[in-house]
Structure 1
Amino acid sequence: MTAEASCAPTIDVHAHLLLPEVEEAVAGHPGLGEARALDVRRNGPAALAVSGPMVGERVPRLTDAAVRLAAMDAAGVDVQLVSPSPNHYHYWAGPRLAERVCGLANEGTAAHCAKAPDRLHGLGLVPLQHPDLAVALLDHALDQGLRGVEISSHAPGPGGTREVELSDRRLGPFWARAEETGALVLLHPFGCTLDERLNQWYLSNTVGQPTENAVALSHLIFSGVLDRHPGLKLIAAHGGGYLPTHIGRSDHAWRVRPDARGCAHEPSSYLERLYFDSLVHDPHVLRALIGTVGADRVLLGSDFPFDMGTEDPLGALRAAELPDQDFHAVRGGNAAALLNLV
């Protein structure tokens, strides 16, 4: 165990922020109503009836830096990497509105983190639905002092145009700029394209989120994005979903199917180039994740302060009964190095 890892602060890389100014900017736009109707269809009325009050009760923790810091103290967390709530993506927005949404998100996140700059670091947004705007808005986020940006697993094309997957060649300049600047990119899906099949029992989240993570990471791997940009610093939320623990199937396809040979090496080899948060809700799965990708690629995550996260990320990490070296690496050593806090 290195002295740096054992002495590193406890760092939570998966924590969220609500930005009222973003919602004010999109209010009244026709696309917002359509997006909300899609959300109802995908999640189902029972899930939305629970989610509304749940989020409402957590608004102080999502907006007030002092309340956030008190909650961090209670959980034993020294530092948070704060990203906008994924409902702020608004990938339905046209170019001008999308630019405004992301600009407001970048500035609002920076202002929130500036209230405790030694403890709060931030990520902004880019409009995946408009790849030609992504580089400029990544630069805008970095200019605000943010550490990078948060993205979803894909974006529906605006105005009925074709969907933008993370493998889309139009995103090439964005990946190149993120690699060049050392910007962090947090992959955090919002919504699942399985739609009404998951509209009961909150399957839209419990099954949908891990599925979207696995699909998005597979697009990055099989398309060769990670071959072309080996220096990308990408963090996959929710432990990367189903992919890390089922990567053997991808490797097998790569070996036996010529149509699965879009990447230069076996898919499993790319997992060691990515980072994953620890939020998998099962100590056995966390140990399996670490066994697959390496203890140096896993970072503490809580999904603060939502109900599908954990209020005790350190307790969840301790439950995995890791060797001390691995425990401290995940607790904060890896993130401290990634954020240049050591």
Structure 2
Amino acid sequence: MTTPTVDVHAHVLLPEVDALVAGLPGRTAARELDARRNGPAALAVNGPMVRERVPRLTDVAVRLAAMDAQGVDVQLVSPSPSHYHYWADQETAEKVYRLANEATAAHCSAAPERLRGLGLVPLQHPEQAVLALDHALEQGLTGVEISTHAPGRELSDPAYERFWSRAEDTGALVFLHPFGCTLDERLDQWYLSNTVGQPAENAVALSHLIFSGVLDRHPGLRVIAAHGGGYLPTHIGRSDHAWRVRPDAQGCAHPPSSYLKRLYFDSLVHDPHVLRELVRVAGADRILLGSDFPFDMGTEDPLADLRAAGLSDTDLEAVRGGNASALLFTE
């Protein structure tokens, strides 16, 4: 049987979650922060862009037709990162993750042979993280999506140890996808909040996982980094150098570059030379096809982008679907 083409970076919009948080005081403050960080020009583009894509984000039939046009057999569907709502208090956060998990599962259940789903975890409340992960798995989801940090907490925070342990024990996928950037108004022009901010956020978050020893303590974790892991894989030599010469950079047991082969990365880097470098430093067996469906910072033709990298037939087939199939379809 031919290995399916699997896109691990595709999103769903959940109007139920938007309705739940509408009008809450924390939501207003979060929107104001998002507006400051992105700037007025980006916000003027974002609204119409998302509205034009709502059918692909909510209607399963429209989604499947778009997948067919792309040559994609299976999508791993995660909630739009706008649904994280890490500003929410404990009560609201529980309502958000339960509703998001259930709505995502319902969306995927309309085409179970072609859609797999991820739920959400409220990183701002580490004590809820295991409960949220378990709830996602109980809905039949494959794992959860998280951002690169929560207010006042990095992914290296010891408060997340129980979450990492549970994800490792269950084999759940953890999809690392940034939302926003802590460089704030420095990036509020020319859409730098996304083009520079998201790769920077990924690099920082992955560095926290590596240097803090999280991946040493939990070698079985199955973490997928969106956007090719951001800037870290192509600049990992600087991290290795720091690990060798700086005692304060030796929190991990091995050179930082070695941990790239314990992580997974999507292929969405928008440059065939960068994709080849990602394959070189992480290994072809750690790269998964990703499109950021259906947003404008993604790709309309992920297979064409993959072929442009000029990989060997074996490596291309692994990235096209072999690696993802092993993660999604083997017990």
Fold match (TM-score > 0.5) = yes
Q: Does residue 12 of the first structure (1) align with residue 7 of the second (2)?
A: yes
Amino acid at match of 1:106: N
| Structure 1 partner of 2:197 | 208
Counterpart Cα distance in 1 of 2:130 and 2:153:
15
| Structure 1 partner of 2:281 | 292
| Structure 1 partner of 2:240 | 251
> Percent sequence identity over matched residues?
78
| Structure 1 partner of 2:321 | 332
- 1:227 alignment partner, one of 204, 216, 220: 216
Which consecutive aligned stretches of 4+ in structure 1 deviate over 3 angstroms post-superposition?
none
Aligned partner of residue 8 in structure 1, secondary structure: coil
Deviation at 1:341, TM superposition (A): 5.3
**Structural RMSD (CA):** 0.8
Deviation at 1:28, TM superposition (A): 1.1
Deviation at 1:236, TM superposition (A): 0.1
Segments of structure 1 that go 5 or more residues without pairing to the other structure are: 157-162
Count of residues paired in the alignment: 331
1:1-342 to structure 2, matched below 5 A, reads 7-156=2-151, 163-340=152-329
Q: Deviations over 1:189-222 (max 9, x none)?
A: 0000000000000000000000000000000000
Aligned partner of residue 210 in structure 1, secondary structure: helix
Counterpart Cα distance in 2 of 1:332 and 1:135:
29
User: What's the TM-score once normalised by structure 1's chain length?
Assistant: 0.96
1:313–1:110 CA distance, 2 compared to 1 (3 A): same
Aligned partner of residue 185 in structure 1, secondary structure: strand
Counterpart Cα distance in 2 of 1:302 and 1:23:
24
Counterpart Cα distance in 2 of 1:96 and 1:231:
31
Counterpart Cα distance in 2 of 1:250 and 1:341:
34
Amino acid at match of 2:235: H
Counterpart Cα distance in 1 of 2:33 and 2:13:
21
Amino acid at match of 2:155: L
Aligned partner of residue 224 in structure 2, secondary structure: strand
